[in-house]
């Protein structure tokens, strides 16, 4: 279940049976702020899980997801969590054992675009959960805003018509009607596997929150509400007329409920078990420890494994009519590379990373816009028969009993799709999850999921995830909209070892960092700046031994220079490295400048940086070189850290500060790029 604030305590107490004394206790400010080195969150936002017994003796596990204040942001996350649980219960064919339920406010339901995105995903092969039951708690107001100011449609539920969902409008003062409609909604969902909406018409008795005065803005409406009987009184009248519950019995029930509340309030003590729970990583992710470690992880694969994968990647079934061009540029080229022991490019390395995980029993899910082929025509993870477009996915044919490779072209959404994959990654953590942005720029369409969940949910709610974000990034003259994944924004979000931000420069580094993600005892999100031009760059290649006898290096040393003569040490991250090396070679500066690559910017391995720079102790200048403008990229993040390691002055070589990420013309780009590379050697 996912829901916002209103009615949440009611749902926690009466649907999930969260003990009342625990709820009251949290309101006394006793929620453990020291949980997992994090900061906790307000009590309204916390998740809860319980097992309820039905009247017929069955057990139902009920989960309410933790959610941020951002209304409706939790919707796709809940869908992903539901899909994960369907996968765990092996219910992917019928999706009847796990039912996602979303409870919405009326203003947010029609107002927030992520609702439409989530509806759009509801029937897609990569994202369906077999139908969601939506309840709208329609109190006919959003904070102080009336429907007339908040929507252009008659009903707030019009958005659900996009998937032809049945919409039931029901009177909230008639609980029996609400119950009956809910049963019908469940039956519909189970019968047709599609979304359904129950729109419960009601009103808000008080202000938006405890201290709010609704009469400031709706004096007439709230005057009437004040004199209107409570829902319980309306209901009592209704059942009194039915004669099923005598008036005295109803009064006794009411008194009993009030007593229960009062008792719990006076006790206000946190049961020891509950207190312990608040400190743990819970649920299916409970096995993971929260702390990051720089300790090397063995991620190399054997030659046999490499051969198995390469062989599968370069052959298709006999009756499969592969497109001649694909045969030539993909299969035959890969065959050549494999036989020669290299040079392996980025896409081959990625396939080796996926393939080796699959052979080890780790399933892999990749989702993103056009990810099956790859935005840059680099991946071709799915091949198509020339005559009937039948699909063949080589990575699912490595050997019998291998883990599954699930690769999906996502709908054209960043927000909901990333939310979905993030939710999935939390509740089925033994799978590797990769969400790919078409270009890194577009990740900011999912900024809410990044800020509210990926960067902070471990700290707020103790919920870890190992989701990988693949964000094509790099200055190649394509203009302001296709250059920057906004590396600076991710780095600004880094603290408490909350996630890893990497900008690898070689296919093997990419291979190992992906494998590392699933080879540790803990789970951390991984933000990856991924290549565009480096996909085919002659120097950005790896050899066989880089896969069979190496690992991921957080910092890469300069192996070309002789320490004694070095006058300047240039630090950089990512693609600009290749421009620097080219310039150094062309200008015979190899002895004068050392270039150290920081492949992982966070958590930053400071000791290693210091160690690698030590031989150059006599160098006169320390430089940070980046291709991003000065107010972007890693500069403002790395400067204080470099100053700490190398007291003195750190020179900047990069584009000047700019409002837009990149120049609009190729000529301006080239001039800027040449200047910044030169600057690194001359500043
Ligand atoms: C994305 C987002 N924008 C603004 C807010 C601030 N806010 C909190 S509740 C609320 C009104 C929501 O109205 P509705 O969806 O009808 O639910 P209700 O509060 O009436 O139950 C607003 C604007 C928010 N929490 N999230």
Residue 143 beta carbon below 6 angstroms from any ligand 1 atom: yes
Structure tokens at 588: 């015979």
Band (44; pLDDT cuts 50, 70, 90): confident
Which of 561, 564, 619, 615 has its CA nearest to residue 589? 561
Band (346; pLDDT cuts 50, 70, 90): very high
**CA gap 600, 296 in Å, rounded:** 13
**Mean pLDDT score, 195-213:** 95
CA of 117 to the centre of ligand 1 (A): 18
CA of 169 to the centre of ligand 1 (A): 21
Q: Is pLDDT larger for residue 280 or for residue 307?
A: 307
- What separation, in Å, do the N-terminal and C-terminal C-alpha atoms of the chain show? 57
**Choice from 69, 75, 108 to test ligand 1 binding pocket (greatest atom count within 8 A of CB):** 108
| pLDDT in the model for residue 33 | 45
As a whole-number percent, the residues of the chain with pLDDT over 70 amount to: 95
**Choice from 107, 138, 159 to test ligand 1 binding pocket (greatest atom count within 8 A of CB):** 107
The most confident of 368-377, 455-464, 558-567, by mean pLDDT: 368-377
| pLDDT in the model for residue 489 | 98
Give yes or no for residue 269 having a pLDDT over 60: no
**CB neighbours of 130 closer than 8 A, spacing ≥ 6?**
86, 94, 95, 96, 99, 189, 193
**Mean pLDDT score, 547-575:** 93
**CA gap 585, 579 in Å, rounded:** 10
Give yes or no for residue 279 having a pLDDT over 60: no
> Which residue CA neighbors atom 12 of ligand 1 most closely?
142
Residue range 301-316, pLDDT digits in tens: 999 999 999 999 999 9
Residue 26 beta carbon below 6 angstroms from any ligand 1 atom: no
**CB neighbours of 345 closer than 8 A, spacing ≥ 6?**
337, 507, 535, 536, 540, 541
CA of 159 to the centre of ligand 1 (A): 17
Mean pLDDT, the chain, integer: 93
Give yes or no for residue 270 having a pLDDT over 60: no
Give the nearest ligand 1 atom to 208 CA: 19
| pLDDT in the model for residue 285 | 59
For residue 603, say if its preceding peptide bond is cis, omega within 30 degrees of 0: yes
Q: Is pLDDT larger for residue 673 or for residue 522?
A: 673
> Which residue CA neighbors atom 11 of ligand 1 most closely?
142
Give the nearest ligand 1 atom to 156 CA: 16
| pLDDT in the model for residue 155 | 98
Residue range 45-103, pLDDT digits in tens: 888 999 999 999 999 999 999 999 999 999 999 999 999 999 999 999 999 999 999 99
Give yes or no for residue 274 having a pLDDT over 80: no
Q: Is pLDDT larger for residue 616 or for residue 36?
A: 616
Give yes or no for residue 272 having a pLDDT over 90: no
Tell whether pTM > 0.75.
Answer: yes
Give the nearest ligand 1 atom to 112 CA: 1
Estimate the share of the chain in helix, then strand, then coil, as percent rounded to the nearest 5: 45, 15, 40
**CB neighbours of 667 closer than 8 A, spacing ≥ 6?**
none
| pLDDT in the model for residue 40 | 65
CB distance 631 to 624 below 8 Å = no
| pLDDT in the model for residue 275 | 53
CA of 578 to the centre of ligand 1 (A): 49
**Mean pLDDT score, 147-169:** 98
Give the nearest ligand 1 atom to 140 CA: 16
Band (287; pLDDT cuts 50, 70, 90): low
| pLDDT in the model for residue 364 | 98
Residue 6 beta carbon below 6 angstroms from any ligand 1 atom: yes
Residue range 217-261, pLDDT digits in tens: 999 999 999 999 999 999 988 888 888 888 888 889 989 999 998
Band (561; pLDDT cuts 50, 70, 90): confident
| pLDDT in the model for residue 639 | 98
* Residues linked to residue 471 through DSSP beta bridges, in sequence order: 529
Structure tokens at 406: 């699930």
Residue range 606-618, pLDDT digits in tens: 999 999 999 998 8
Give the nearest ligand 1 atom to 6 CA: 21
Cα separation values, 340 from 314, 335, 430, 507, 536, Å: 14, 9, 34, 17, 18
Give yes or no for residue 372 having a pLDDT over 60: yes
**CA gap 629, 617 in Å, rounded:** 29
């Amino acid at each position: 279940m996912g829901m916002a604030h209103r009615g949440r305590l009611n749902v926690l107490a009466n649907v999930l049976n969260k003990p009342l004394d625990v709820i009251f206790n949290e309101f006394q400010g006793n929620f453990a702020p020291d949980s997992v080195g994090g900061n906790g969150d307000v009590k309204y936002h916390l998740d809860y899980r319980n097992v309820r017994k039905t009247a017929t003796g069955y057990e139902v596990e009920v989960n309410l997801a933790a959610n941020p204040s951002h209304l409706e942001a939790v919707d796709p996350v809940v869908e992903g969590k539901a899909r994960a649980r369907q996968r765990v219960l092996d219910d992917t064919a019928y999706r009847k054992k796990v039912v996602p339920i979303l409870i919405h406010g009326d203003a947010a339901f029609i107002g927030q675009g992520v609702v439409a995105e989530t509806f759009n995903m509801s029937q897609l092969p990569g994202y369906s959960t077999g139908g969601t039951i939506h309840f709208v708690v329609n109190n006919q107001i959003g904070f102080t805003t009336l429907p007339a100011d908040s929507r252009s449609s008659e009903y707030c539920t019009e958005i659900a018509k996009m998937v032809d969902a049945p919409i039931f409008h029901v009177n909230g003062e008639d609980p029996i009607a609400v119950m009956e409609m809910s049963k019908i909604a469940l039956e519909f969902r189970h019968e047709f596997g599609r979304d359904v909406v129950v729109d419960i018409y009601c009103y808000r008795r008080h202000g938006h929150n405890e201290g709010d005065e609704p009469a400031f803005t709706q004096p007439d409406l709230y005057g009437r509400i004040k004199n209107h009987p409570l829902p319980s009184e309306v209901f009592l009248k209704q059942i009194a007329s039915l004669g099923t519950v005598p008036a005295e019995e109803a009064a006794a029930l009411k008194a009993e409920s009030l007593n229960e509340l009062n008792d719990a309030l006076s006790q206000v003590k946190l049961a020891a078990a509950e207190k312990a729970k608040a400190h743990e990583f819970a649920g299916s992710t409970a096995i993971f420890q929260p702390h990051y470690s720089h300790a090397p992880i063995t991620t190399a694969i054997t030659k046999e494994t490499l051969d198995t994968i390469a062989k599968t990647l370069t052959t298709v079934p006999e009756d499969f009519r592969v497109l001649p061009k694909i045969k030539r540029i993909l299969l035959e080229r890969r065959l050549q590379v494999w036989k020669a022991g290299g040079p392996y490019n980025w896409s081959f390395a990625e396939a080796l990373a996926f393939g080796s995980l699959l052979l080890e029993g780790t399933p892999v899910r990749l989702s993103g816009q056009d990810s099956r082929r790859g935005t840059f025509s680099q991946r071709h993870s799915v091949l198509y028969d020339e005559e009937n477009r039948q699909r063949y996915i080589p990575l699912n044919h490595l050997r019998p009993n291998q883990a599954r490779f699930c690769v999906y072209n996502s709908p054209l959404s960043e927000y909901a799709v990333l939310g979905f994959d993030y939710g999935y990654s939390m509740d089925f953590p033994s799978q590797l999850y990769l969400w790919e942005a078409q270009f890194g720029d577009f990740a900011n369409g999912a900024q809410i999921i990044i800020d509210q969940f990926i960067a902070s949910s471990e700290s707020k709610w103790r919920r870890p995830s190992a989701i990988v974000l693949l964000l094509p990034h790099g200055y190649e003259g394509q203009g302001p909209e296709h250059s920057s994944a906004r590396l600076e924004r991710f780095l600004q979000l880094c603290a408490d070892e909350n996630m890893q931000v990497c900008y690898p420069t070689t296919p093997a580094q990419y291979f190992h960092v992906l494998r590392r993600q699933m080879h540790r005892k803990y789970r951390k999100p991984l933000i990856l700046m991924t290549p565009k031009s480096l996909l085919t760059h002659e120097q950005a290649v790896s050899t066989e031994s880089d896969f069979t006898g190496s690992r991921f290096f957080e910092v890469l040393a300069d192996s070309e220079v002789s320490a004694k003569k070095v006058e300047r040490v240039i630090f950089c991250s990512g693609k600009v490295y290749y421009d620097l090396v080219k310039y150094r070679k062309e200008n015979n500066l190899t002895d004068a400048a050392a270039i150290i690559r920081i492949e992982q910017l966070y958590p930053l391995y400071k000791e290693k940086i210091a160690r690698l720079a030590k031989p150059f102790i006599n160098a006169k200048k320390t430089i940070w070189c980046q291709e991003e403008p000065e107010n972007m990229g890693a500069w403002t993040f790395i400067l204080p850290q470099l100053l700490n390691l190398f007291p003195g002055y750190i020179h900047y070589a990069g584009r000047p500060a700019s409002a837009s990420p990149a120049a609009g013309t190729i000529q301006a780009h080239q001039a800027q790029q040449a200047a910044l590379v030169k600057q690194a050697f001359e500043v």
